[in-house]
Structure 1
Amino acid sequence: MFWIICAATTIVVGLAIMAPLLRGGRAAAEPAAAFDLRVYRDQLKEVERDLERGVIAPAEAERLRTEIGRKVLDADRRLAQAERGGAGGRGLLALGLLAALFAGAAALYLREGQPGRDDLPIARRIADARQVYENRPSQAEAEAKAPAPAVPEVPADFAALIGQLREAVARNPDDPQGLALLATNEMRLGNMAAAREAQQRLVDLRGEDASAAELVRLSALMIEAAGGLVTPEAEAVLVRALRKDPAHPQARYLLGILQLQNDRPDRAFPIWRRLLEEGPADAPWIAPIRAAIADLAWLAGQPDYVPPAPLPGPDAEAMAAAGDMSPEERRQMVAGMVAQLEARLASQGGTPAEWARLISSLVVIGNTDQARAIWTEAQTRFAGRPEALETVRQAAVEAGLVP
């Protein structure tokens, strides 16, 4: 069925392209020459009528006849050329070029495409994704194949300090602060494997007391050392972090990366969607999510998804003008911006971060009662999304609305 549709579409498009090309020469030459002939013949009749009425002299009439006669001959010649096959020649040339294009497209597809590959149903795609997931290389294999990272130039004094730090950690391998500091600096130097090893020792030292942030950092370093691949070992650390803090944003972002690498955009999309809606707008994972979320939504079967707009704020001109305002004028400007945000959230909805910002802003301008009403509405709106509601609740707590 697919090939029948493709063939029919190709034929229809080809006919649509060829039709004007085939009649293009005749439409451009013959009608113009025929029209010219009619005009010139009418002009000859007009000359004869003017001569009979005595409007022009016989000598002038003869001159006009001669001039118009030359134009008639030229138009007749052009018309004869068109009828002898000028249009047909151009049409054949157009047909030849179009046939060459179709043949070239078919040859390119047969060479670069996969004409014999069957369409994959959803179940088959999920099974293939599962196979990719289960056959991932180990951490050691991925690190061995990872490209060497770019090593920045290190000043001599800083290199000496790093050497001293390495010696200090070697002498005291159970120092958590030393291990954390070593992991940070090895990462800055591009020594991802060394940074991963130091962070791994720190997590092993902490044992079950390792925090979610420490586990996420270890997972991120493992991914970096593996050339960006989320290996089974990195995933296991990531799962530990999410067990400790299911709402940890960076861990959820990395979980989305894992789903994308294993061809499961349907699983990655809801994770990244919530991260984008929760914010904050300046979080490091927001920019890459915003850049990819439209394509990801389409791949996940959500083509109508519209990502939330970035949080509004004063532009440079407004900030400059605010410096020359009186305190009352600045208060009025802020109140206007808050009113715009409130109106947009009421009519279009918004992210939890925007609701949190509205609550904080209303309290700042002294409209505590309205902020309390917004907090009540947010509890209803985000009742089914505990993570989103927590973002708004934190703003309410900071604003003094929640004890």
Structure 2
Amino acid sequence: MIFWLIAAAGAALVSLVLLRALWRGAQAPVPARTEHDLQVYRDQLAEVEREVAREVLSEADAARVRTEISRRILAADTSRADAVQPGAGPSKLVMGVIALAMIGGSLALYLQLGAPGYGDLALKDRIAFAQELRENRPTQAAAQAGLPPTPGLADLSPEYAALLKQLRETVAKRPDDIQGQTLLAQNEARVGNFVAAATAQSAVVRIKGAEASVEDVAGYAELLVLAAGGYVSPEAEAVLRAVLARDVENGTARYYWGLMLVQTGRPDQAFKMWDGLLRRGPEDAPWIEPILAQIEPIAEMAGVDYTVPEIGVGALRGPSADDIEAAQDMTPAQRMEMIGSMVDGLSERLATQGGPVEDWSRLISSLGVLGQTDRAQAIYDNALEVFAGDPSALDEIFRAGERASLAQ
């Protein structure tokens, strides 16, 4: 209610100022057209007196000239008096229409572009609102229930439909058959039945247990998102968290984590994560194309004047084919030396050129694996200063410090 009172008072004040200016302008004297002529006549009289003083003009002739000029001055003065009259002021109807247009137009514009009922949220309030939105968003089951039914076997070729039906029946009889569940997940996803595909992939992860790879779990998270129509549910978030706990650089998980941040009101954090993925590349990574399709409006929402970078420009140099072939014949000490040289190259680049938080996190983790905890601690402390004020980046640095067993 206070907002509306302030808005109405502001619109009324602006209308009053404009109407007052309009009224004063209408009441202002109209400038006389003869003002210039009057000044010319006065100058002519002064010139006559100078001519008489120099004895160029006789007194009799001067008298006749003075009489003519005076007659013209009187005529011009009379004309000016008639011209200097107050203009006609605007009618009350016109002024009322102007005031109504100002106040009503402002209200209509706000109703169209604004958010009636919502105040201007401070950053702290927006973060709190986003957190509340994230905690209270719909479940996976609710999201799936709101989607149209998935395609049936009737939409497939007879041969493929028969094979898929047989596969479903076989897996139903042997739910712990890892190969059957894997094939079922792949084929259900191929026909767009992502709900069934996610169920089958869940069984794959369950059967493999601790032996389930990061790719297995990431694939399950992706199928959950697809089954919900692109929505990242709390259940999908939990699976993504499990992936990132094992591989913080996993591109699939980081892409969908960024998507979740967009959906829960944190485009600022999503932008940083997706920008890091673009800089890391590679160009043929499956998440590059969807990020490119979305990142510019996300950057605008985050308040960033953004230019899409060259894909992979910030990527770490991985081992070449020659490096891998040479490493097969290396002793463990030689392999560690090769890894150390790569880490040194990354450290040098970050020290001289800087880089995204992903590179800092990777360097800290790598130094921890190499046992160089003192060096890792120094870089960790430096990273905390570089990314101060960026909660998302700091969270990633904290996780890298935990993996490297550093003091925090």
* TM bracket, shorter-chain basis: 0.5 to 0.7
Q: Against the structure 1 CA distance between its residues 163 and 150, is the aligned structure 2 distance closer, same or farther, given a 3 Å change threshold?
A: closer
Q: Any gaps of 5 or more consecutive residues in structure 2?
A: 24-86, 322-344, 364-408
1:248-267 alignment to 2 at 5 Å?
A: 248-267=250-269
**Structure 1 position 229 matched with structure 2 position 237:** no
1:312-391 alignment to 2 at 5 Å?
A: 351-353=313-315, 378=349, 380-381=351-352, 387-388=358-359
1:168-317 alignment to 2 at 5 Å?
A: 168-300=170-302, 303-310=303-310
Q: Does the aligned pair in 1 maintain the 2:143–2:228 contact within 8 Å?
A: yes
| CA shift digits 1:227-282 (9 cap, x unpaired) | 32222221111111112211110100111111111112232222111011112233
| CA shift digits 1:177-215 (9 cap, x unpaired) | 221111111112222211111001000001111111111
Aligned length: 291
Q: In structure 2, what residue type is equivalent to 1:182?
A: L
Shift, 1:309, TM fit: 3.7
SS in 1 for 2:245: helix
Q: Any gaps of 5 or more consecutive residues in structure 1?
A: 23-83, 312-349, 361-373, 393-403
1:88-127 alignment to 2 at 5 Å?
A: 96=97, 99-100=100-101, 103-107=104-108, 109=110, 114-127=115-128
- Give 1:159's match in structure 2, choosing from 158, 161, 176: 161
Aligned-partner Cα distance in 2 for 1:113–1:273: 30
Q: In structure 1, what residue type is equivalent to 2:275?
A: R
> 2:141 aligns to what?
140
Aligned-partner Cα distance in 2 for 1:376–1:274: 17
| CA shift digits 1:298-345 (9 cap, x unpaired) | 433xx454334445xxxxxxxxxxxxxxxxxxxxxxxxxxxxxxxxxx
Q: In structure 2, what residue type is equivalent to 1:135?
A: N
Aligned-partner Cα distance in 2 for 1:308–1:115: 35
Q: Does the aligned pair in 2 maintain the 1:293–1:307 contact within 8 Å?
A: no
Q: In structure 2, what residue type is equivalent to 1:244?
A: R
Aligned-partner Cα distance in 2 for 1:135–1:389: 33
Aligned-partner Cα distance in 2 for 1:286–1:214: 20
> 2:30 aligns to what?
none
SS in 2 for 1:352: coil
| TM-score normalised by the chain length of structure 2 | 0.55
Aligned-partner Cα distance in 2 for 1:289–1:130: 23
**Root-mean-square deviation (Å):** 4.9
Aligned-partner Cα distance in 2 for 1:281–1:12: 57
| CA shift digits 1:6-59 (9 cap, x unpaired) | 78997999899999x99xxxxxxxxxxxxxxxxxxxxxxxxxxxxxxxxxxxxx
Q: Does the aligned pair in 1 maintain the 2:244–2:250 contact within 8 Å?
A: yes
Q: Does the aligned pair in 2 maintain the 1:277–1:308 contact within 8 Å?
A: no
Shift, 1:287, TM fit: 2.8
Shift, 1:118, TM fit: 2.7
SS in 2 for 1:307: coil
Aligned-partner Cα distance in 2 for 1:375–1:114: 47
Aligned-partner Cα distance in 2 for 1:306–1:118: 28
Q: Does the aligned pair in 1 maintain the 2:188–2:196 contact within 8 Å?
A: yes
1:29-108 alignment to 2 at 5 Å?
A: 96=97, 99-100=100-101, 103-107=104-108
Q: Does the aligned pair in 1 maintain the 2:271–2:298 contact within 8 Å?
A: yes
Q: Against the structure 1 CA distance between its residues 98 and 298, is the aligned structure 2 distance closer, same or farther, given a 3 Å change threshold?
A: same
Q: In structure 2, what residue type is equivalent to 1:139?
A: Q
Q: Does the aligned pair in 2 maintain the 1:182–1:195 contact within 8 Å?
A: yes
Aligned-partner Cα distance in 1 for 2:228–2:237: 12
Aligned-partner Cα distance in 2 for 1:187–1:113: 42
> 1:319 aligns to what?
none
| TM-score normalised by the chain length of structure 1 | 0.55
Q: Does the aligned pair in 2 maintain the 1:352–1:389 contact within 8 Å?
A: no
Aligned-partner Cα distance in 1 for 2:157–2:295: 40
> Sequence identity of aligned pairs in percent?
40
Q: Does the aligned pair in 2 maintain the 1:352–1:391 contact within 8 Å?
A: no
Aligned-partner Cα distance in 1 for 2:120–2:347: 50
Q: Does the aligned pair in 1 maintain the 2:279–2:309 contact within 8 Å?
A: no
Shift, 1:159, TM fit: 0.5
Q: In structure 2, what residue type is equivalent to 1:227?
A: G
User: Which has the higher Rg, Structure 1 or Structure 2?
Assistant: 2
Aligned-partner Cα distance in 2 for 1:289–1:389: 22
| CA shift digits 1:120-168 (9 cap, x unpaired) | 2222222222222221232223222233346693111111111122233
